[in-house]
A = this chain, B = another copy of it.
């Protein structure tokens, strides 16, 4: 892990002034110019094809082929649920697993992996299918039909699983054709305790010490699948400044949102969520504090709550970062002036930013109503009201119906749900409904339509008890007769819940319709802006993430941290350092090590690189992505970002945003010295 002084100076001094390594690029549009300019090298088609066809999509994550016999590498946290699902006879999550031979590899039911075999740009044919000057809805339908048509054509032509892909928010339409692997078997994984060392506390942080990998194998016809392409596993690894690529499936970003949309997230969307999570976290911590039993009961929920709290706090902080947001504002201003200066673009999107801002202001006024009139905690009322709404909507022309009530099958499904009736336990429903009504009464006031109609002079507890205990909707006969008699019998029903639902429906539907209308205006104008942006910048920019295959480039690079520079690597010595520092009991054992990791410590070469950071631009969904060097070899495995990666939802901060990966050398050392899987090391190294 030596580094030349030249590389170091580049890192420490020159880098900040160079263009940052931003972007999740589609494989058809790799920014070769930028790469050549900064690194003097860019991948050619053979390299790209090789990497693309070595890359795999997992449910919610990414992976890659890493041996000629179809061995697949991904994160432990991507494989976690599948490992859990095959842990019938033993606890592979807790104790880890390594199949001693191929016949011991365990088939994972339901796990399918996808390899992007081919892509087809259908933008031209889609746009041709849309007649000029068509009404918006007709244009949308024509576009949807053209995409559907292309999907059928390519499915038949390729014999592969095809998916439509919309890039640049409508700027480009593609068909992505995947080869799908349906026989996937678990080969090896370390203990959860080592894979997720530091648990929620260390999540989204650096320095890190996580062996976050798992190995699977693809089978075809009950034999190991021999992939056309797989990544050679590097034993040389990287050093500071090494060029790194990450090939994977970033899930979603909102970088092309307008400032008004981001401000909405900052001021309206996140604050109540954060408040709720903070309250929940404090309550759970108090329960945990009071007894060991309480701690045991709430610990999983506490982790989940604090994970969300950390992530959303990170997004929110990103939006509160005045300097960073000034950069976003500058980019928006630049595009706006280019649009204003171009007569054609001005027609398309000239007013769109203002329209979005105005519509968001309208949406904000509805926030309180939407928040307090959510019927998730009142299933009986919801089923009834929703059925009434479906009857009303069915009377409208299809074009005028709300989303979710447009097709016959949608309407039929709603009727079926109503006929099946409520399934919730009565006592639980009363408790939840009481809580919701109490909140609504205090949040909206006693004279609000929603509150007045439901309470009807009673207290929240009385009203909830009355409605849920007195209604006959749990009797199949009432539901059948209401369906039979349709609106007429509903209107004349004396059942208290049906009466309330019937009275409330116009208000509830109005709120819903206005929400839908506002969001539709925002979406339409966002698409207009996207179109204009694509017109102006074309392929100089990358599309927002869509959980489709992307390539990001960057290098192993430090960043300023707590007054010093973040170390670019950790080693196994760092793992033991942090475990010893905290001891096995701190924070519910977050930094404790399994027994065999304590026993086999002296077998490990503690200087082996373990985790490392790069400035590649990735996001959720990239978990399990291979980190690849210029030679196309696997040098690491992306599993997280540092705390400064969280604002990456909105913008890329090249100075601080870092990808965190497991080093290819560390995985081999662990397989060999601790996991008793020397045969897998041999396979990986092609021996």
Contact = CB atoms under 8 A, between A and B. Distances in A.
Interface of A: 1-5, 8-9, 12-13, 198, 201-206, 239-240, 285, 289, 292, 310, 314, 561-565, 567-571, 573-574, 576-578, 580-587, 606-607, 609, 642-643
Contacts of A642: 562-563
A583 B3 contact: yes
B577 A571 contact: yes
B1 A565 contact: no
A670 to B, nearest CB: 16
Contacts of A587: 8, 12, 565
A606 B8 CA distance: 29
A308 to B, nearest CB: 14
9 contacts: A5-B292, A5-B585, A13-B289, A239-B583, A562-B642, A567-B577, A568-B582, A573-B577, A573-B606
A3, A563, A578: which has the most chain B beta carbons within 10 Å?
A: A563
B577 A2 contact: no
B3 A198 contact: no
Given A3-B583, A310-B563, 11 more contacts: A2-B584, A3-B585, A3-B586, A8-B586, A8-B587, A205-B564, A240-B586, A571-B580, A573-B606, A574-B577, A606-B606
Nearest to A574: B577
A289 B206 CA distance: 28
B289 A9 contact: yes
Nearest to A295: B5
A585 B2 contact: yes
B8 A585 contact: yes
Which of A2, A5, A578, A580 has the most C-beta atoms of chain B within 10 angstroms of its own C-beta? Answer: A580
A290 to B, nearest CB: 10
A563 B13 contact: no
Contact residues of A: prevailing secondary structure: mixed
A584 B239 CA distance: 13
A540 B582 CA distance: 35
Given A8-B587, A12-B587, A583-B1, A567 B578 contact: yes
A563 to B, nearest CB: 3
Contacts of A201: 564-565
Nearest to A578: B567
Given A577-B571, A580-B573, A586-B3, A562 B205 contact: yes
A310 B563 CA distance: 8
Contacts of A571: 576-577, 580-581
Contacts of A203: 563
A375 to B, nearest CB: 36
Contacts of A292: 5
Contact of A564 (B202, B564, B568, B585): B202
Contact of A607 (B204, B314, B580, B643): B580
Contacts of A239: 583
Nearest to A206: B562
Given A563-B205, A576-B607, A581 B1 contact: yes
Contacts of A562: 205-206, 561-562, 642-643
For A4, A12, A561, A567, which residue has the most chain B Cβ atoms within 10 angstroms? A567
A583 B239 CA distance: 10
Q: Which 4 A-B pairs have the closest CB atoms?
A: A563-B643, A574-B577, A573-B577, A567-B581
A300 B414 CA distance: 77
Nearest to A607: B580
Nearest to A208: B564
A410 B562 CA distance: 48
Q: Which of A12, A202, A583 has the most CB of B within 10 A?
A: A583
